[in-house]
Amino acid sequence: MITSKKYFFSAILAVIFMSNAQSQEFDRGSVVAKNAELVKVGEGYTFTEGPAVHRNGDIYFTDQPNDKIYKWSATRNEVTLFKEGTKRSNGMYFDRKDILISCADQENQLIAVDDKGNAKVLIENFKGKKLNGPNDVWIAPNGGLYLTDPLYKRPWWTGRSQEMEQDGEHLYYLAPDRVQFFRVDEKLVKPNGLVGTPDGKKLYVADIGDNKTYVYEIEEDGYLKNRKLFCEMGSDGMTIDNKGNVYLTGKGVTVFNAKGEQIAYIPLPERWTANVVFGGTERNTLFITATDKVYTLDMKVRGVW
């Protein structure tokens, strides 16, 4: 997630991964339902991010500059406020106990939020130093958490250093016991979006600073191996469908198959699309956060849990 204008536009420059002409070579037909159109379900925010799907199909998303989490109801198709004072929540993901895990960069923490909005800190430092700014999180089937930690300087960091806390921008793993916390890749420029396969065997991580997305094999202990280039494109947030297609964001939504071949492109009217997830009662609704608005789109494919 990128909030300030300076970092917003620098990220756009970093993620101009294709020309408009190239984008138009790909239609939506392979993944989008016939005759489906974008439906604006919310507007008037400052910067929307972090969409996470609850087991009932509802989507929770953040408006980080305003320090709020909202909920889109899959049955009523309406948005309501879930929580104010979110520790500046950014990327989020529900665990199997319906606890909302959130990257909260007010104090550079990873927190857990229950259904009443009560928050508990899971991670607040690495080897005694604050993280740079937890950005996005994915939870593996075994309960382990993968976390990206880039640096985006925030206007709400007042009375403290704006400089990097760690020795680089890295990818981390928090084990299911919530005690072991270690780095799993220290060779990324600026990791941002990430998502794994539902079988827990592969992890996709976007290096938005290097305009690339990588795929790793996940080992039983949480470590990663055999990092390979998935595609020459970075991403802010990302998701995956039941066909193994990977959805990257930035300038609209770009869809790649499991081989890393682009198969579809979904344009949006906003200049920046921050994140995307599948929701709805049948998991066939694509929920898109795009700057000051949120959209839904009916799909042929479904999300995975």
258-281 tens-digit pLDDT: 999 999 999 999 999 999 999 999
- Asked if the model's pLDDT at residue 21 lies above 60, the reply is no
Domain span including residue 75: 5-298
Residue at 304 is within a domain: no
3-state SS class at 97: coil
Q: Which residues pair with 49 in a beta bridge?
A: 62
* DSSP assignments along 42-73, one per residue: EE--S-EEEEEE-TTS-EEEEEGGGTEEEEE-
The count of structural domains within the chain is: 1
Looking at the domain assignment, is residue 186 inside a domain? yes
Asked, for residue 160, whether it belongs to a domain, the answer is: yes
Whichever domain contains 126, its CATH number is: 2.120.10.30
Distance between CA atoms of 257 and 249, rounded to whole angstroms? Answer: 15
- pLDDT tops 70 at residue 6: no
Contact yes or no for 128/165 (Cβ under 8 A): no
Does a structural domain hold residue 229?
yes
pLDDT of residue 2: 57
pLDDT of 226 over the 80 cut: yes
| Domain-located, residue 303 | no
